[in-house]
Structure 1
Amino acid sequence: MAYKDFVNDRKKGILKDVLLFYGAEDFLMEWAVDSLIDEYVDEGSRFLDVIRLEGDKVTAADIMAEARTYSMFSEKRVVVVRNYLPFYRSASDVGADDLLDFASSPQEQSKVIFVIESRNSGDLSSYGKKFAKVCSSYEFSRLDKADLKAFITKRVHHAGKMIARRELDLMIDISGYYNKGSDYDLTRFDGDIDKITKACDGDMIDAALIEEILIGDSDRFVFSLVDALMSGDRGKALSVAEAIIRDDDGAMAVLALLTKQFEIMYDSLELSEKGFSLSQMAKKTGINEYRFKRAFTAAGRYSRSRLRKILKDLYNIDRDIKRGDMDKDVALELISI
């Protein structure tokens, strides 16, 4: 079951006393744990009634012993067990079978929450799958677009700011949250939303601020360099390149960034001619949709043959630098032509 199922089951009061949380979103799992602590444990006795155990250091017997201890101050104790090894590795625990029986039974004393963090949530072991069937188990995967928009909007409004639909879409595009293999999760999103709202001088968050906060230095650099090259402003192109080139490694960094961007531009024209939409092209190449959109727009000023020639020149410069046949100053001049 998913995040929304947890929310609904909690509202209905049908959660079992032993729960298993796993999935890609640690932020949501932390929220779910905190919500149960708030519900069952008196704030003044949390140092006694909230027990946190590391799953690679405890046994099933340790967990059950903690769970069977009564609280004198709260409705129930909450025992949180992180990354219990038998759930995701071939690790043996002599009490594992007893823990299965324990998980399937009501527990008057405690709520026991097993959390498998995202880094360990790739695949449940056979034991983990058995355990998931006898307790209340929930997979906290990435939010769909509607829920992500609600997540962002709620935090923006809580900070006393506003965001329009267009800027909301821009924030999601730049973040790369939906990119294949992306490690940009809700924890990072929450932190970036906080940065944006704190940096916003007025009431309304604008596109310029979103780009300033969310676009990395390397992407910002390559966008500026390509824009300067496209406009024919050689002086600006030189100054942009000089800002990052300090040594031979810097020259190679510039070259790698520029080559990657022109490769994306070339691919965008090729895929466009095959009838792919912008979002389909980004998904097919596994590239951040915002970055792909910038590359596709820039590619419109070039022919495929021109882009092919530029890429050939960049590959030759890369080869000559690596062979020692070209120094960084010459490379800088050639890159900026």
Structure 2
Amino acid sequence: MTDYELRKAAKNNKLPPLICLYGEEAFLLEECLTCLLDETLDKSSRDFNLLVINGRDVDPASLMDTAKTFPVFVQKRMIIVKQAQDLLAHQLDNLISYISDPVPECCMIFCANKVDKRKKFYQQFKKNGVLVEFKSLYANKIPPFVCERARSANKQFSEDGLALFCRRVGNTLGEIVTELNKLFNYCGDNHFIDVPDVAAVVSDTRIDSVFDLTDAIGAKDLSRALILLERLQDDGEAPLKILAMITRHYRQLWKTSALLEQNVGKQQIASTVKINPYFLTEIIRQTKKISKLSYPQSFELFIKLDLALKSTGAQPRALLQKLAQDLICLN
């Protein structure tokens, strides 16, 4: 059963008695759990019909007794076991008798970041319940996710607006939804979202500055590069973190450059390099400014700077300025 099918079952009051929600994408999992709870129990009935407990605190006998208690003035009781991956082997074994013959008047939901389907507990679970996995979205799935959320709010992004939004928000769905809600509120009755709207609401000066820094290095504009380095440090970024961002960006550039030489398609490049497809156009543009022969030497500079920054008496600003100078000399 999929997330969509499970939500539909909840709306039709046909939830199975056993549900396991698991996976790395905690935001989507929690969103689904909230939907199931809201569709099953209104807030006024939760005091008598809802139990939320962490896996490590589960007493199997007590949990089963609660599950078998008839619901009060509602059709179903709900039990939510969070952090179910923390359930110990003996706890799982003691619950097998219940999951082999669950009570239809109770919906018991287990939430976990991972499950071992080889265990007897989950083998039996699948016979009378459903397991729904929430996988982390790949970077190339973020734009469709954003567009779908926008459509749900009766909004539409321009191509450039979507590219800028995806570039700035990263891949954390919770943060993406938070920024989307801010953007929707800012736009009000305006259904079309363009670059100025995104720029006014969603900001990530760190990513923009690293992009601009790489542009400045490719253009051999040392003055601009130094200003951007100063800005990053003035914004409170630690020197080692600045180096990590630059190193990560150069790694993406190097991988993209190599794949372009092999005539690999853009979709595959985005998947291989693990970057947002809307981010790729800028990456490709920057690869044309940097000599492919300079990448190995650039990474030697990164390693040396990493060691220097970690040594006693290091002067971070001076070392980062020297890095910018050396990178420009390589190109």
Q: Which TM-score band applies after superposition, normalised by the shorter structure?
A: 0.7 to 0.9
Unaligned runs of 5+ in 2: 326-331
Tell me what 2:99 maps to. Answer: 100
C-alpha distance in 2 between matches for 1:136 and 1:152: 30
Residue 287 to residue 165, structure 1, CA distance change in 2 (3 Å): closer
Contact 1:29 1:115 in 2 (8 A): no
Distance verdict in 2 for CA 1:216–1:174, change over 3 Å: closer
- 1:139 is aligned to 132
1:112 aligns with 2:107: yes
Specify the SS of the correspondent of 1:243. helix
Aligned residues: 318
Which whole-Å CA distance do the structure 1 matches of 2:278 and 2:129 have between them? 39
| TM-score of the aligned structures, taking structure 2 as reference length | 0.76
Structure 1 vs Structure 2 CA RMSD: 3.7
Residue 231 (str. 1) matches residue 230 (str. 2): no
SS of corresponding position for 2:264: coil
Cα separation, 1, equivalents of 2:57 and 2:165: 40
TM-score by length of 1: 0.75
Name the stretch that deviates more: 263-272 or 310-319: 310-319
Query: Closer, same or farther in 2 for the Cα pair 1:44/1:241, shift >3 Å?
Result: same
More displaced 10-residue stretch of structure 1: 30-39 or 188-197: 30-39
- Please give the per-residue CA displacement for 1:170-206, whole angstroms capped at 9, x wherever unaligned: 64566554xxxxxx23x33322212332444782322
Following the alignment from structure 1 to structure 2, what is the Cα–Cα distance between the partners of residues 83 and 314?
Answer: 40
Residue 65 of structure 1 aligns with an amino acid whose one-letter code is: D
Q: Deviations over 1:2-47 (max 9, x none)?
A: 2133245446655333333223444444444444444443542222
Paired residues of 2:21 and 2:132 also in contact (CA < 8 A)? yes
Equivalent residues of 1:174, 1:290 under 8 A apart: no
In the alignment, the residues of structure 1 paired with residue 69 and residue 61 of structure 2 have an alpha-carbon distance, to the nearest angstrom, of 13
CA contact (8 A) 1:60 1:99 kept: no
SS of aligned partner of 1:275: coil
Q: Deviations over 1:85-111 (max 9, x none)?
A: 586x534456323222332xx52xx33
Asked if the contact 1:3/1:138 (under 8 Å) is kept, the reply is no
CA contact (8 A) 2:212 2:228 kept: yes
1:82 correspondence with 2:82: yes
The gaps in structure 1 that reach 5 residues or longer are 178-183
* Worse overlay, 70-79 or 143-152: 143-152
Contact 2:239 2:316 in 1 (8 A): yes
CA drift at 1:300: 0.9
Q: Aligned ranges for residues 112-261 of structure 1 at < 5 Å?
A: 112-117=107-112, 120-142=113-135, 148-149=145-146, 151-157=148-154, 161-164=155-158, 167-168=161-162, 171-172=165-166, 175=169, 177=171, 184-185=172-173, 187-200=174-187, 203=190, 204-207=192-195, 209-210=197-198, 216-245=204-233, 250-261=238-249
Counterpart residue identity of residue 131, structure 1: Q
- Are residue 270 (structure 1) and residue 258 (structure 2) matched? yes
What does residue 23 of structure 2 align with? Answer: 23
Match of 1:331 among 314, 319, 327: 319
Shift of the 329–137 alpha-carbon distance from structure 1 to 2, 3 Å rule, reads closer
Most deviating of 317-326 and 302-311: 317-326
- Match of 1:53, SS state, is strand
Distance 1:212 1:229, change over 3 A: farther
Q: Distance in 2 between matches of 1:156 and 1:321?
A: 47
For residue 141 of structure 1, report the CA deviation from its aligned partner. 2.3
Structure 1 residues 50 and 310: alpha-carbon distance in aligned structure 2, compared to 1, 3 A threshold: closer
Rounded Cα–Cα distance in structure 1 between residues aligned with 2:43 and 2:305: 64
Q: Report the CA distance between 1:114 and its aligned residue.
A: 1.7
